[in-house]
Chain A
Amino acid sequence: MVAPHSLPGNTKKTRDIKQEVNKLPSRALGPTEPAPTDNLDNMDELYLDNIDEFVNDHDKIVTYKWLSLTLGVHVNTAKQMLFHYLDHKRKESSPQLHATYLVSGKFVDKGQPGHTVSVVREDQLEDLKAKMSLIVSVHVYSVQKALLKDSGPLYSVDYDAVKDNLKSCSRYSAIRCAGAVPMSTQELQQTEREPQRAPSPEPAAKRSGESKPAPKPSTKPQRGIMGMFANKAPAKSQESGKEVKPEQRGDEPMAVATKSKPAAKANPAMNFFGNQTSKKPDKAVKEEEAAAAAAAAAAAAAAAVPSSCAAEQRHQSSPPEEKQEAAAAAAEEESPKDAKKDSRSKTKRIADSDSEEEKMEKKKRRRIKKPQPDSSDEDVIPDSPQQKETREPSPRPEMEVESVSHSHQSLPGAKTRKRRRVLKARTFVDDEGCIVTEKGYESESYSEAEDDAKAAKRAPADFIPAKPPAGSREDEKKKSQKKTSANASKGSKQASIMGFFQKK
């Protein structure tokens, strides 16, 4: 028989843990009361059909948080609905349903007492309950048709639902924090400036001092949420079962996390993006503005400072997730409010999502740029003559060719000219609108007296404007100092050779 659902905060044991709990308007429950079927009579019975549809027809995993956001009910109501549904279905002996449970209570791990919150499969439920010294709360976490092998999908289910309801994901949660108020824009700007002065050795020191918070049921209060996210992040697979989440707060970990997710992520996320140039800041800024409506107090911002630099560090060097959580978790210890840890988890999420997207973008950009030089190199050879003629009729007359004539003249020492070949990369936008980067040898010639060398070189000669020897020979024959634009028209392939005859 499944353990009865208990409402958090309605028993004396849990009251001291919670800061403040909203009670359901309906009858409150004690932990030992049987399943409250009559409690739900007031509510519309259609929800049973809804859940049935989700689970059986759509093959969805229905978590209580997802249900609460989808149906627009309080999380406690959602939990009760799930329990009721499960009970109902089991009695009817319909196709096999699986459920996971969230168990919260006191646990002694290797002599260390602590508060643990775990999500377990139904078959492991009784085992876990036996191990715990005191059970504070047990409730249904999710209902699904498939037997889940690991907890990954549970996180995925909530991810999109929460993302869609970013501003109001704590609307239905049972935990409130009076100190969590939206930051005004001035405070926001203030805190933006602060993290930039955050010292970098600080997270490093914290990192070394902390081990992985995830498996430890520690007594440290604020590590809970981060530990929870630690398990969902790409940590190494620790246990075959579900995770153990150390937390001292009550049994509404998800609610807490979601509630404060909008809280105070403005600051670290903003700072985070201050350090990089990417398109994603637009998106992040929008999210921050949305989130600024529900942000933590100013103290939260200060405490979030080390996490933001942790976030920076993480993004810059992309170390394993544990480190960032360790740093963040360590930072959390300083702040008494649990709102902040959620801001960090949200930061990390945003950071993750944006860094992921950024990496995708950067990869995209890198991929875009890389093939271009290869392809356009081939294009250089056949196209350059035509392109020169079609595209740059005007620069051609401008392009001054300092041909061999100059070199000849320099020999007798009339002008001191130096020519050298320089490998340069030129980036420009060609007529298709693609950014093309080309490397080529350019013969750079300068002398103290003349500038036209530079002016001519600056003319938009995309390709190595090498001239065939014939052109230069003509110049030689002419023995004139004047440049011939004819040279420009003859593009040639051999940059290395022709660069010598390059017009400048």
Chain B
Amino acid sequence: MTTLTRQDLNFGQVIADILCEFLEVAIHLILYVREVYPSGIFQKRKKYNVPVQMSCHPELNQYIQDTLHCVKPLIEKNDAEKVVVVIMDKEHHPVERFVFEISQPPLLSISSETLLSHVEQLLRAFILKISVCDAILNNNPPGCSFTVLVHTRDAATRNMEKVQVIKDFPWIVADEQEVHMQEPRLIPLKTMTSDIVKMQLYVEERAQKT
């Protein structure tokens, strides 16, 4: 089995691909579980051998895909520290934040055999955890919207502003209003450690949602 090292151009791309696929599924699932959109637009599909709910709405899908397409180069270079899915109420104050903290070990050499099934299992656990998270979270007020924020290093932010990875899909520095949440409660959901990536998912929830 070929051993991949971080120096390989392929390695970063493979990791980024895996993570972006997972983030896409996770975002769809968060939208479903937190009822940001009516459940009628969701359809059961399969990922990692378990059923997940994915949206069928073309514009929503396109938006999520474009978002992740721009995030992917950041993950490749290990610039992205956190990817945050923020659910905001009508006044655009964040109500819930699902934070995916991603860290990739710098020096790495793994064989791809053990990788796939183990990572799949870990990601499956994440998805299961998201599905049951509404037990611990309070309900959201109606009329919520969502957005995706990425926390990166400074230089990468400037690059993203300069270069439009996707046409007409600009990224801007987030408002303080969108980032800061009042009285957050932290609820850890899941942690995963594997050879290629360490990921942590936790939810910050505003104490009073209405």
Contact A236 B44, beta carbon cutoff 8 Å: yes
* Residue interface mask A148-164, B partner, CB < 8 A = 1: 11111101110110000
The answer, yes or no, to whether B101 is at the interface (CB within 8 Å) is: no
B24 nearest CB across to chain A (Å): 14
Contact A59 B46, beta carbon cutoff 8 Å: no
Given contact pairs A156-B128, A360-B116, A59 touches B53 in the complex (Cβ within 8 A): no
Q: In the complex, A148→B42 CA distance in Å?
A: 15
The answer, yes or no, to whether A146 is at the interface (CB within 8 Å) is: yes
Contact A159 B8, beta carbon cutoff 8 Å: no
The answer, yes or no, to whether A234 is at the interface (CB within 8 Å) is: yes
The answer, yes or no, to whether B136 is at the interface (CB within 8 Å) is: yes
The answer, yes or no, to whether A113 is at the interface (CB within 8 Å) is: no
Q: In the complex, A234→B13 CA distance in Å?
A: 28
Given contact pairs A149-B39, A283-B117, A361-B116, A157 touches B128 in the complex (Cβ within 8 A): yes
The answer, yes or no, to whether A327 is at the interface (CB within 8 Å) is: no
B40 nearest CB across to chain A (Å): 9
* Residue interface mask A47-63, B partner, CB < 8 A = 1: 00000000000011100
Which residue of the partner chain A has the closest CB to B35?
A: A149
Chain B residues bordering chain A, tally (CB within 8 A): 40
The answer, yes or no, to whether B32 is at the interface (CB within 8 Å) is: yes
The answer, yes or no, to whether B127 is at the interface (CB within 8 Å) is: yes
Given contact pairs A234-B51, A237-B44, A364 touches B9 in the complex (Cβ within 8 A): no
Stretch of A12-20, A133-141, A349-357, A408-416 contacting B (4+ beta carbons < 8 Å): A349-357
The answer, yes or no, to whether B50 is at the interface (CB within 8 Å) is: yes
Contact B2 A433, beta carbon cutoff 8 Å: yes
Our pick among B9, B17, B51, B125 for the contact of A371 (Cβ within 8 Å) is: B9
The answer, yes or no, to whether B210 is at the interface (CB within 8 Å) is: no
Our pick among B49, B53, B133, B134 for the contact of A356 (Cβ within 8 Å) is: B49
Given contact pairs A145-B132, A433-B2, A237 touches B42 in the complex (Cβ within 8 A): yes
The answer, yes or no, to whether B45 is at the interface (CB within 8 Å) is: yes
The answer, yes or no, to whether B124 is at the interface (CB within 8 Å) is: yes
CB-CB under 8 A from A149, the residues of chain B are 32-33, 39
B4 nearest CB across to chain A (Å): 9
CB-CB under 8 A from A453, the residues of chain B are none
Contact B132 A353, beta carbon cutoff 8 Å: no
Contact A353 B49, beta carbon cutoff 8 Å: yes
Contact A364 B14, beta carbon cutoff 8 Å: yes
List CB contacts (< 8 Å) of B113-156 with chain A.
113, 116-117, 120-121, 124-125, 127-129, 131-136
List CB contacts (< 8 Å) of A321-367 with chain B.
321, 349, 352-353, 356-357, 360-361, 363-364, 367
Contact B50 A159, beta carbon cutoff 8 Å: yes
Contact A356 B32, beta carbon cutoff 8 Å: no
* Residue interface mask A477-490, B partner, CB < 8 A = 1: 00000000000000
Q: In the complex, A160→B124 CA distance in Å?
A: 9
Our pick among A159, A368, A371 for the contact of B49 (Cβ within 8 Å) is: A159
CB-CB under 8 A from A152, the residues of chain B are 44, 50-53, 131
Contact A357 B132, beta carbon cutoff 8 Å: no
The answer, yes or no, to whether A235 is at the interface (CB within 8 Å) is: yes
Which residue of the partner chain A has the closest CB to B11?
A: A368
Q: In the complex, A233→B45 CA distance in Å?
A: 7
The answer, yes or no, to whether B43 is at the interface (CB within 8 Å) is: yes
Contact A234 B44, beta carbon cutoff 8 Å: yes
Contact B10 A368, beta carbon cutoff 8 Å: yes
CB-CB under 8 A from A421, the residues of chain B are none
Q: In the complex, A368→B16 CA distance in Å?
A: 13
Q: In the complex, A234→B49 CA distance in Å?
A: 10
CB-CB under 8 A from B32, the residues of chain A are 149
Q: In the complex, A360→B22 CA distance in Å?
A: 12
Contact B9 A156, beta carbon cutoff 8 Å: no
CB-CB under 8 A from A419, the residues of chain B are none
The answer, yes or no, to whether B63 is at the interface (CB within 8 Å) is: no
Given contact pairs A150-B44, A156-B128, A156-B131, A367 touches B17 in the complex (Cβ within 8 A): yes
B73 nearest CB across to chain A (Å): 13
A233 nearest CB across to chain B (Å): 7
Other contacts beyond A361-B112, A371-B9: 8, CB < 8 A:
A59-B136, A146-B132, A149-B33, A152-B44, A152-B131, A352-B49, A360-B116, A367-B13
B contacts, CB < 8 Å to A: 1-2, 8-10, 13-14, 17-18, 32-33, 39, 42-46, 48-53, 112-113, 116-117, 120-121, 124-125, 127-129, 131-136
A contacts, CB < 8 Å to B: 59-61, 144-153, 155-157, 159-160, 232-237, 279, 283, 321, 349, 352-353, 356-357, 360-361, 363-364, 367-368, 371-372, 375, 432-434
